[in-house]
């Protein structure tokens, strides 16, 4: 389990933006972190809190320093590592390589207490643009103990060759390591987190599934219990889940096959996370997820 960095300051850079629900700050969005290139610099949400104040994200943990709260990142974008850490090389394994890019904020399009919208570029190590992105994050109240994060992302491939999104799994790593996409590094201060869908429970049963929703429960650094309910798999996406090594959930773009964006085309994602105080049962989680179009 990680060393808890949940209450620590964000790396130096531009002042984080904030998301509020009914006047309560529920998340900070670190738009321009100053980080070692090996950590995959990119905008990320941290800390994210329940309405009761429990922190439910971790950033820069000792076990995987490149895990940055809640963010979008892919380990292999046409050979550029935007995830951070070592790169998985077929028939070799994890290797430190000088292949790290960065995801860069290039301008706000809208900014208010409950909505942040901006433009980004996914860049290779030399600064070349691999993809452009338009991203919108919105926070809304659901019940007195629950709020919802909506994250909309539109990735666009430039003119030229098609862009390939890969993962350690698509590069030969066994064991269901198909991570890369919308990733949430959670907190499990009270021990191992619990993960379940409507049909299955546990890391082994849930990892790689295409269930319409997935829930993770845990304990924050102050001892408060929380539940996160995720929805938003797109065509071909799968859930990547870890609970034993660390608590994390990912909408994985390339779980077992590379995702391809032909030149000039877009990849759209709409991810929703319900951030709840307390430990919810599967029926309650399903009720929240059934309202995801509201």
Tens-digit pLDDT profile for residues 263-293? 999 999 999 999 999 999 999 999 999 976 4
pTM, two decimal places: 0.94
Tens-digit pLDDT profile for residues 76-131? 999 999 999 999 999 999 999 999 999 999 999 999 999 999 999 999 999 999 99
Q: What is the pLDDT of residue 250?
A: 98
Question: Is the pLDDT assigned to residue 6 strictly greater than 80?
Answer: no
- Mean pLDDT to the nearest integer, 212-236: 96
More confident residue, 190 or 114: 114
Q: What is the pLDDT of residue 1?
A: 34
Q: Virtual CA dihedral for 29, 86, 175, 6, nearest 10 degrees? A: -30
- 234: nearest Cα among 214, 212, 266: 212
Question: Is the pLDDT assigned to residue 294 strictly greater than 90?
Answer: no
Question: In the block, which residue shows the tokens 């773009």?
Answer: 253
- 21: nearest Cα among 173, 108, 138: 138
Tens-digit pLDDT profile for residues 15-72? 899 999 999 999 999 999 999 999 999 999 999 999 999 999 999 999 999 999 999 9
H or E segment and range at residue 287: helix 282-290
Domain architecture of the chain: domains with CATH: 17-290 (2.70.98)
Q: CA 223 to CA 293: how far, in whole Å?
A: 32
Contacts of 108 by beta carbon, 8 Å cutoff, 6+ apart: 116, 117, 118
Q: Return the biggest CA–CA distance within the chain.
A: 52
Q: How confident is the model at residue 139 (pLDDT cuts 50, 70, 90)?
A: very high
Q: How confident is the model at residue 11 (pLDDT cuts 50, 70, 90)?
A: low
Q: What is the pLDDT of residue 5?
A: 37
H or E segment and range at residue 204: helix 203-206
């Amino acid at each position: 389990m990680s060393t808890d960095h949940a209450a620590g300051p964000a790396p130096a850079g531009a002042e984080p933006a904030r998301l509020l629900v009914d006047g309560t700050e529920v998340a900070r969005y670190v738009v321009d972190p100053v980080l070692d290139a090996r950590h995959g610099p990119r905008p990320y949400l941290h800390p994210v809190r329940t309405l009761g104040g429990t922190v439910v994200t971790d950033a820069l943990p000792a076990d995987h320093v490149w895990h940055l709260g809640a963010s979008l990142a892919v380990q292999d974008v046409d050979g550029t590592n935007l995830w951070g850490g070592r790169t998985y090389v077929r028939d070799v394994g994890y290797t430190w390589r000088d292949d790290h890019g960065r995801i860069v904020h290039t301008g706000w399009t809208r900014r208010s207490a409950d909505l942040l919208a901006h433009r980004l570029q996914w860049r290779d190590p030399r600064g070349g643009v691999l993809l452009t992105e338009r991203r919108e994050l919105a926070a809304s109240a659901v019940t007195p103990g629950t709020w919802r994060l909506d994250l909309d992302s539109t990735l666009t491939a430039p003119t030229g060759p098609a862009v390939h999104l890969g993962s350690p799994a698509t590069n030969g790593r066994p064991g269901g390591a198909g991570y890369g996409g919308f990733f949430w590094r959670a907190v499990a201060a009270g021990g191992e987190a619990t993960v379940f869908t409507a049909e299955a429970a546990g890391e082994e049963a849930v990892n790689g599934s295409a269930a319409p929703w997935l829930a993770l429960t845990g304990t924050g650094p102050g001892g408060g219990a929380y539940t996160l309910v995720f929805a938003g798999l797109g065509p071909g996406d799968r859930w990547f889940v870890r609970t034993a090594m660390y608590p994390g959930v990912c909408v994985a773009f390339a779980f077992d096959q590379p995702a391809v964006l032909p030149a000039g085309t877009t990849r759209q994602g709409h991810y929703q996370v319900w951030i709840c105080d307390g430990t919810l049962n599967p029926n309650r989680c399903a009720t929240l997820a059934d309202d995801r179009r509201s």
